[in-house]
């Protein structure tokens, strides 16, 4: 399994195989730690970290950063609530899914997929580039701009823009959040970024001790992470 985002409790992350049975391409789903920042009044729900573009979840409109609060009419208060309902659902069945996105509730219809134990989970990619752009104060990482060569090597979709993570302090917030060299930051607090300067500007709007919501690209997938500023 790929690195656990900081918004997930490591001991409470659902196995890839179980989630693949439901979403056929959602990597990690677990409990929300900073529940108030997601618009929740209490700690409940399951946070979607990644969604594969060709899977049922993506087709239904599920996005990284969504918090699942209800499935098939049953509340999702813990990870086990979601797992039990997924396991009890026959593949091919379409079920309603309530999610919280940008602090607003949405209802989606998702068709349960077949279990695929051969599906490989993404792992952190490596990038040999050295820091050459913005050192993002308070987050423990340096960002660089994408060019055609980098975008091709990282297999980014056409016309994708963002900021490339070129260096990470192993003891800093970015490392603790699971960010690594070669990750590409696509959005900061839901705002699209087109360059290292854009990402740096949005990150610097976060107060010390506050949390930034990031959408990143890693190994052919968009992943949602939370990043706390020192």
Mean pLDDT lowest among 56-70, 74-88, 129-143: 129-143
CATH number of 10-111: 2.30.42.10
Pairwise CA distance, residues 228 & 139, whole Å:
7
Pairwise CA distance, residues 36 & 142, whole Å:
29
Pairwise CA distance, residues 101 & 129, whole Å:
35
Mean pLDDT lowest among 29-38, 89-98, 171-180: 29-38
Task: Answer yes or no: pTM beyond 0.85.
Answer: no
Which whole number is the average pLDDT over 25-36? 51
CA distances from 16 to 1, 23, 85, 110 (A): 7, 10, 16, 18
Kindly list the domain boundaries of the chain, sorted by start residue: 10-111, 134-228
pLDDT of residue 189: 93
CA angle in degrees (0–180, nearest 5) for 171-212-11: 60
% of the chain exceeding 70 in pLDDT: 70
Please check whether the two domains, 10-111 and 134-228, share a CATH topology. Answer: yes
| Confidence band, pLDDT 50/70/90 cuts, at residue 125 | very low
What's the CATH number of domain 134-228, 2.30.42.10, 2.40.50.100, 3.40.1260.10, 3.40.50.800? 2.30.42.10
pLDDT of residue 175: 92
* Length of the chain, in residues: 230
Decide which of 32 and 82 is more confident.
82
pLDDT of residue 96: 94
């Amino acid at each position: 399994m790929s690195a656990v985002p900081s918004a997930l409790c490591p001991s409470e992350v659902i196995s890839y195989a179980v989630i693949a049975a439901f979403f056929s391409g959602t990597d990690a789903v677990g409990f929300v730690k900073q529940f108030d920042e997601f618009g929740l009044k209490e700690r409940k729900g399951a946070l979607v970290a990644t969604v594969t573009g060709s899977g049922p979840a993506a087709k239904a409109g599920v996005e990284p950063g969504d918090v699942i609060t209800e499935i098939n009419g049953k509340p999702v208060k813990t990870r086990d609530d979601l797992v039990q309902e997924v396991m009890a659902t026959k593949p091919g069945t379409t079920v309603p899914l309530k999610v919280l996105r940008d602090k607003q509730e949405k209802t989606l219809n998702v068709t349960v997929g077949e279990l695929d134990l051969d599906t490989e989970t993404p792992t952190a990619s490596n990038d040999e580039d050295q820091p050459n752009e913005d050192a993002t104060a308070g987050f423990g990482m340096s960002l660089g701009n994408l060019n055609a060569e980098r975008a091709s090597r990282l297999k980014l979709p056409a016309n994708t823009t963002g900021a490339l993570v070129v260096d990470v302090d192993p003891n800093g917030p970015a490392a603790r959040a699971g960010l690594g060299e070669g990750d590409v930051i696509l959005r900061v607090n839901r705002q699209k970024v087109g360059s290292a300067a854009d990402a740096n500007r949005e990150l610097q709007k976060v107060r010390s001790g506050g949390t930034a919501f990031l959408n990143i690209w890693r190994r052919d997938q968009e992943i949602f992470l939370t990043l706390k500023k020192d």
